[in-house]
Chain A
């Protein structure tokens, strides 16, 4: 526990920086959750391709990003690319690195959900005369997204927590600012405890929203006719 309220006074001196850091964290979380979702849908779409080469390439991409720590990829982009004359800003690296990583996970969740769909619905849609693209956006995607909501919202929560990694590539997000405050006040324990508390509150709010989204998206249960 914080020994006394003096820590809050010490920390509040730096509140403009902390607030900016918090805003950066939230902005980055929102961006990568959205770009990761959109890119994940695109990757998932490609996993259904009729081209064997395309499917293998996409599976390779997913395996590489799920099988590699995100920090390695962030360092490759931020510290490795300048060796080849390519210098990206910390925000660009963060968005690019996270998007590619999160998209791979999201695509995997969607594939799992897709495997649980009734294939006869797809056959019925083909028999009605729908194109593959129409079947994807009218039948497959809505059901896959609905079934993936728990996994996708857990990923969004994970994204929020993982953004703390980007302080290692000089991005001034919340954790980086709190690190700065700790260094200035020498109240390492108190400041990191406070940092954890803020993340916990943010994650709790997000978890609550996620559970509401799950309930909202839930289909009516089977009637007694089908039991």
Chain B
């Protein structure tokens, strides 16, 4: 059974349909990337799934349970989805350790000791445990991204959402983030990653969903999207020598 089943999802802002009938599945332990030009609805899609934005219509099944209904426990749903933001969104007033422990302590009712043990485990997994007493303002972009991932993992989510995880990073740090996502993949963590970065998508994702104008135009492996589609839009976006988007 798929961890996540999205069916005919629509989101409109006024007359404009930002998502127009999106359907896809995400298998447990799988990694899918969502790509497409700016404004195609990628980030809106992630936010609709965890209900930061309310979908207009359609259905989302999370482990077989419908989660778009009014009676859905939205906070419980969000706790099952680890969200890593483009600009990291670390809590500036908290040190690294507190950034990672605040969720488990306040949401999962862990004791401070238990939460710190869990946080240190995740920080070590991401090679940033030595920064635990630093504040976000003292970290580089790559370090912040790792801490943001550790914060998400400390909640033991069923799936990790990445929203443009490398767009604010230089190529070296972007490769580090790709390595981290691959490491998570090898540990059977389920990932849905919105990105503009084809190299990242190719190196981490089993399959890529290509979104344009709020619709899925293709879903396939990176190599197939690059080499085996005649569709003009897909060739322009993924084809050899395609301009960076």
Compute how far the CA of A130 lies from the CA of B155 in the bound complex, rounded to whole angstroms: 12
Given contacts A126-B78, A219-B92, whether A225 and B52 have CB atoms under 8 Å apart is: no
* Closest Cβ–Cβ distance, residue A113 to chain B (whole Å): 12
Q: In the complex, A150→B91 CA distance in Å?
A: 21
Name which residue of chain B comes closest to A128, CB basis.
B103
Q: Could you tell me the distance in whole angstroms from the C-beta of A196 to the nearest C-beta in chain B?
A: 40
In this assembly, does A207 line the interface, its C-beta being within 8 Å of a C-beta of chain B? no
Contacts of A9 in B (CB 8 A): none
Name the distance in Å between A110's Cβ and chain B's nearest Cβ: 15
Chain A 119-159 interface 0/1 with B at a Cβ cutoff of 8 Å (1 = within)? 01101111111110010001100110010000000000000
The answer to whether B89 touches A221 (Cβ under 8 A) is: no
B residues near A146, Cβ cutoff 8 Å: 93
Instruction: Tell me whether A138 and B52 are in contact in the complex, defined as CB-CB below 8 angstroms, given that A124-B83, A129-B78, A222-B138 are known contacts.
Output: no
The answer on a CB contact under 8 Å between B155 and A123 is no
Contact with A along B47-88 (1 / 0, CB 8 A): 000101000000000000000000000011011010101010
For chain A residues 138-193, which have a beta carbon within 8 Å of chain B?
Answer: 138-139, 142-143, 146
Secondary structure class of chain A's binding surface, majority of residues: helix
Measured CB to CB, the nearest residue on chain A to B155 is A128
CB pair B139 A223 closer than 8 Å = yes
Of chain B, the residue at the smallest CB distance from A217 is B93
Other-chain contact of B106, A127, A130, A222 (Cβ < 8 Å) = A130
- Contact partners of A128 in chain B: CB under 8 A: 78-79, 83, 103, 107, 151, 155
Q: With A and B bound together, what is the CA distance between A120 and B89 in angstroms?
A: 5
B137 within 8 A of A: yes
B75 touches A223 (CB 8 A): no
Q: Mark A201-227, 1 if CB is under 8 A from B, else 0.
A: 000000000000000000111110110
List residues of chain B with CB within 8 A of the CB of A123: 52, 85, 89
Q: What residues on B are CB-neighbors of A52 within 8 Å?
A: none
A4: interface (CB < 8 Å): no
Alpha-carbon gap, A10 to B190, bound state (A): 83
- Cross-interface CB contact of A219 among B78, B81, B135, B143, cutoff 8 Å: B135
- A120-B85, A219-B135, A219-B137 given; A126·B52 CB < 8 A: yes
From 76 to 121 in chain B, residues with beta carbon under 8 angstroms from any chain A beta carbon are: 76, 78-79, 81, 83, 85, 87, 89-93, 102-103, 106-107
Find out whether the CB atom of A129 lies under 8 angstroms from the CB atom of B79.
yes
A8 → chain B closest CB, angstroms = 49
Least CB distance, B121 to chain A, in whole angstroms: 18
Q: Which residues from chain A contact B52 at a C-beta distance below 8 Å?
A: 123, 126-127
Interface residues on B, range: 20 to 34
Tell me if A226 and B140 are in contact (CB < 8 A): yes
* Distance of A128 Cα from B78 Cα, bound (Å): 6
Q: Looking across the interface, which residue of chain A has its beta carbon closest to that of B148?
A: A124
What residues of A have a CB within 8 angstroms of the CB of B102 in the complex?
138
> In the docked arrangement, what's the CA distance between A78 and B143, Å?
60
- Flag if A127 contacts B78 (CB, 8 Å): yes
- B103 near A129: Cβ-Cβ < 8 Å: yes
Query: Which residues of chain B are within 8 angstroms of A138 by Cβ–Cβ distance?
Result: 102, 106
Docked Cα-Cα span, A130 to B107, in Å, equals 7
Asked whether A129 lies within 8 Å of B143 as measured between CB atoms, the reply is: no
Nearest CB on B from A126, distance (A): 6
Contacts of B78 in A (CB 8 A): 126-129
A220-B137 in contact given A128-B155, A129-B75 (Cβ < 8 Å): yes
A185 to B79: give the CA distance in the assembly, Å: 73
Point out the residues of chain A lying under 8 angstroms from B155, CB to CB: 128-129
For A131, the chain B residues whose CB sits under 8 A away are: 75
The CA-CA distance from A38 to B106 in the complex, in Å, is: 24
Given A126-B78, A139-B93, A222-B137, 6 other A-B residues pairs in contact with their CB atoms under 8 A: A121-B89, A123-B52, A124-B90, A134-B106, A220-B138, A226-B137
- Chain B residues proximal to chain A, CB less than 8 Å: 50, 52, 75-76, 78-79, 81, 83, 85, 87, 89-93, 102-103, 106-107, 134-135, 137-141, 143, 151, 155
A-B contact pairs, 27 of them (CB 8 A): A118-B87, A118-B89, A120-B85, A124-B83, A124-B85, A124-B89, A124-B90, A126-B78, A127-B81, A127-B83, A128-B79, A128-B83, A128-B107, A128-B151, A128-B155, A130-B75, A130-B103, A130-B107, A138-B106, A142-B93, A143-B92, A146-B93, A220-B137, A220-B138, A222-B137, A222-B138, A225-B141
